Amino acid sequence: MLDFPLWKRLSLWAITLAASLLALPSLFNVAGLDWPSALPDPQVNLGLDLAGGSHLLLEAKAGDVRAQRLEAMEENVRQLMRNANPRIRIGDVSTAGGELSFILENAADIDRARGLIEPAMQGSTTVREWELKVVDGQRIVLTQTEAGINQAIDESMNGAIDVVRRRIDELGTREPTIIRQGSTRIVVQVPGLQDPAGLKKLLGQTAQLEFKLVDLDALPSDVQAGVARAGSQIFPYADGQSGAIAVKRLGGIRGDNLTGAQAGRDPQNNQSVVTITFDAQGGAKFAKLTTENVGKPFAIILDKQVLSAPNINEPIIGGRAQISGNFTPESANNLAIALKSGALPVPLTVVEERTVGPDLGADSIRKGLLAMGIGSLAVIALMVASYGRFGVYATVALVFNVLMLLGLMALGGFTLSLPGIAGFVITIGAAVDANVLINERIREERKRGRRVIAAVETGYTEASRAIWDANITNVISGVALFAFGSGPVKGFAVVLVIGIITSVFTGVTLTRMFVAGWLRKARPNDINI
């Protein structure tokens, strides 16, 4: 037990010093000193609650993804049936209840229809995305499978993360963290950002641009009442004053295929406008739409609100279009950024927001360090007063414990949060527990008359059992903490769990090496403990 051959001593020191050295860059940083740039620079990240910044939790509604897919499928099916040769006539199309259902006018077409639809049901992967049912030999019902929906949500969220990243980059903000959380959420953390209002506005904009033909046959009174005819939809104007307008549900195009968007001014009336540039595919679609509908009005719809509904005076074939709609220079600029970075595949809402000012964080660090210092001194004083030389060993172990904990956190790229500071203090107070248990046991064994070496040896072996059990329960609660917590609480859990590991190492293994070394050299007949 007290046998420490040279290789063992060397490797223990190597581990201790290596882990402790990793803490130096972080300590330099806290002290405001410059760490030599030639050396590796692992740093403990400061959480937003210490460094200041904004944390936003964005959520997508799964229902939105379902609805989008259903609509896309409807359009797809209509087109397939129309283009079939000979054309397959369908009727009574309904998307109620989250499923697409329609009747074939001629029941004999059923196999042909199936043959056309089935390839469209398969997504990009092997997942079966749709279920096809035939009812009464004539009606086809398409339902989305759970796996298909999940995959669609997955794709939408991954797309949304890219869009969010592009938009934040456009703002020129430094080092944002953007991660997916659960199936429908995205965490956005922007250090140093004090006023997230602009960011929220930018992320809250889906920027789904659509061009749809105005339904000229809709009765004004129906539009007023919000009653849409079959095949048309009613959207309100974005300005909230001009009422609403009915548009044809299908046959429009979406502004997905853009290569650029630029805010500017219309030279004719000096109003703020956004000029968009389509890519080749989008340009062709746009040209076709405008060519086929010259003289008719079409609505420019952004996120389900109508910006404007100009007449198509002539075919627009250059792939560029100008969007007007009561913009301020600022909102035009925002829209341009949003359109350039692409539409969010699914609308996002902010469900949690936390902002911390930089002064509060700096103050917390200062006060936390002060408290940690006083607490450490008190613990050291108590240990040395109670256990003498053995208390000094425990103190040395404690110092290495704190350094190793900090070093390992820097190595692992973990984040130190405000509750993490409490975790450090708890670790300092609890790390010496192992030494208390060992030293008390040695004291007891000496009292029972064991010789020094035997007492120390028994002390370490007998105390180890309880130390082990106690630390396992601490790890269990630490794991529960980690699983439970969001950012700051996770930071607390990380400190506690790493602190438990380092404290067992320093408190038990290191002190045993110290004690063994001293016993071998001094060969005391009695120990003061």
Partner 1 sequence: MKLLKLVPDDTNIKFLKLRVPFFVLSLVLIVGSWTAVAINGLNFGVDFAGGQEVRMTFTKQAEAPIPSLRELVGGLGYGEPVVQEFGAKNQVSIRVALPEGAEDTPGAATAIGDKVIATITKSYPDARKDGNDTVSGKVAGEFRDQAILALLAAMAAVAAYIWVRFEWQFGAGAMFALVHDVSVTIGLFAVTQMEFSLQIVAAILAIIGYSLNDTIVVYDRIRENMKKYRKMEMFDLLDLSVNETLSRTVMTSLTLFIALIPLLFFGPESLFGMVAAITVGLFIGTYSSIYMAGALLIWMGVTTNSFVPTETAVDRQEKLARGEG
Pairing of strands 130-135, 305-308: unpaired
Tell me which DSSP letter residue 108 carries. G
Among 6, 31, 108, 197, binds partner 1 (CB under 8 A): 197
Phi first, then psi, for residue 476 (nearest 5°) are -55, -50
Of the listed pieces 64-72, 78-86, 330-338, 379-387, which binds partner 1 according to CB under 8 A?
A: 379-387
Cβ 366 to partner 1 shortest distance, Å: 9
Decide if residue 258 touches partner 1 (CB under 8 A).
no
Q: By rule CB under 8 A, what count of residues binds partner 1?
A: 80
How distant is the alpha carbon of residue 312 from its chain centre?
Answer: 43
Look-up of token digits 């104007």? 237
CA distance 275 to 264: 7
Among 308, 376, 395, 503, binds partner 1 (CB under 8 A): 376
Q: How far is the CB of 61 from partner 1 (least distance, A)?
A: 8
Q: Using CA atoms, how far apart are residues 242 and 47, in angstroms rounded to an integer?
A: 47
Please, which residue, 79 or 349, has the CB nearer to partner 1?
349
User: Distance (Å, rounded) from C-alpha 342 to C-alpha 200?
Assistant: 16
Q: Map the footprint of partner 1 across residues 479-508, applying CB under 8 A.
A: 480-481, 483-486, 488-489, 492-493, 496
Tell me how far apart the alpha carbons of residues 181 and 450 are, in angstroms, rounded to a whole number.
58
Minimum gap (Å) between residue 433 Cβ and partner 1: 4
Amino acid at 478: G
Closest contact distance (angstroms) between CB of 489 and partner 1 is 5
CB 259 within 8 A of CB 277: yes
Q: How far is the CB of 40 from partner 1 (least distance, A)?
A: 31
**Judged by CB, which is closer to partner 1: 161, or 430?**
430
- Binding span for partner 1 by CB under 8 A among 197-205, 242-250, 285-293, 408-416: 197-205
The amino acid present at 197, given as its one-letter code, is A
411 versus 426: smaller Cβ distance to partner 1: 426
Q: How many helices (H) and strands (E) does the chain have?
A: 17, 19
Please give the residues from 19 up to 78 whose contact with partner 1 meets the rule CB under 8 A. 49, 57, 59
Q: How far is the CB of 485 from partner 1 (least distance, A)?
A: 6
Here the tokens at position 523 are 């060969």
Residues 444-483 within binding reach of partner 1 (CB under 8 A): 444, 447, 462, 465-466, 469-470, 472-478, 480-481, 483
The residues near 78 (Cβ < 8 Å, ≥ 6 apart) are 90, 93, 250
Alpha-carbon gap, residue 386 to 389, rounded angstroms: 9
Q: Please, which residue, 376 or 415, has the CB nearer to partner 1? A: 376
C-beta of 316 vs 338, nearer to partner 1: 338
DSSP 3-state of 434: helix
Minimal distance, residue 334 CB to partner 1, in Å: 16
Q: Which is nearer to partner 1, 189 or 308 (CB)?
A: 189
Name residues whose C-beta falls within 8 Å of residue 431's C-beta, 6 or more positions apart in sequence.
397, 398, 401, 499, 502, 503, 506, 507
Q: What angle do CA 131, 347, 195 make, to 5 degrees?
A: 155
Residue 297 gets which letter from DSSP?
Answer: B
Q: Considering the complex, what minimum distance in angstroms separates the CB of residue 53 from partner 1? A: 10
For partner 1, the binding residue among 352, 461, 520, 522 (CB under 8 A) is 352
For residue 239, count other CB atoms closer than 10 A to its CB. Answer: 13
Which CB, 78 or 354, lies closer to partner 1? 354
CB atoms within 10 A of CB 219: 11
Asked if 321 and 262 touch (Cβ cutoff 8 Å), the reply is: no
Cis, peptide link before residue 36, omega less than 30° from 0: no
Phi and psi angles of residue 451, each rounded to the nearest 5 degrees, phi first: -75, 160
The 150-189 site mask, x for binding partner 1 (CB under 8 A), equals ----------------------------------------
Contacting residue, 236, 297, 375, 517, with partner 1 by CB under 8 A: 375
State the minimum distance, in angstroms, from the CB of residue 87 to partner 1: 45
End-to-end CA distance of the chain: 20
Which residue from 353, 396, 453, 501 is in contact with partner 1, where contact means CB under 8 A? Answer: 353
From residue 203 to residue 222, what is the string marking binding to partner 1 with x (rule CB under 8 A)?
Answer: -x------------------
| Binding to partner 1, residues 390-449 (CB under 8 A) | 418-419, 421-422, 425-426, 428-430, 432-433, 436-437, 440-441, 443-444, 447
- Residue 410 is encoded by which pair of tokens? 């820097």
Does residue 192 belong to the site contacting partner 1 (CB under 8 A)?
no
The nearest distance, CB 300 to partner 1, in angstroms, is 24
Q: Based on CB atoms, which residue is closest to partner 1, 133 or 465?
A: 465
Among residues 73 and 398, whose Cβ is nearest to partner 1?
398
> Does 198 participate in binding partner 1 (rule CB under 8 A)?
no
Q: Between residues 103 and 422, which has the closer beta carbon with respect to partner 1?
A: 422
Among residues 225, 227, 378, 522, which is the contact residue for partner 1, using CB under 8 A? 378
For residues 215 and 445, which CB has a smaller minimum distance to partner 1 in the complex?
445
Q: Three-class SS of residue 179?
A: strand
CB of 252 to partner 1, least distance (A): 27
- Reading the block at residue 374, the tokens are 């006083």
- The two three-digit tokens of residue 301, written as one number: 């719809």
Q: Where are the beta strands (DSSP E) in 401-512?
A: 415-416
Q: For partner 1, give the closer residue by CB, 13 or 484.
A: 484
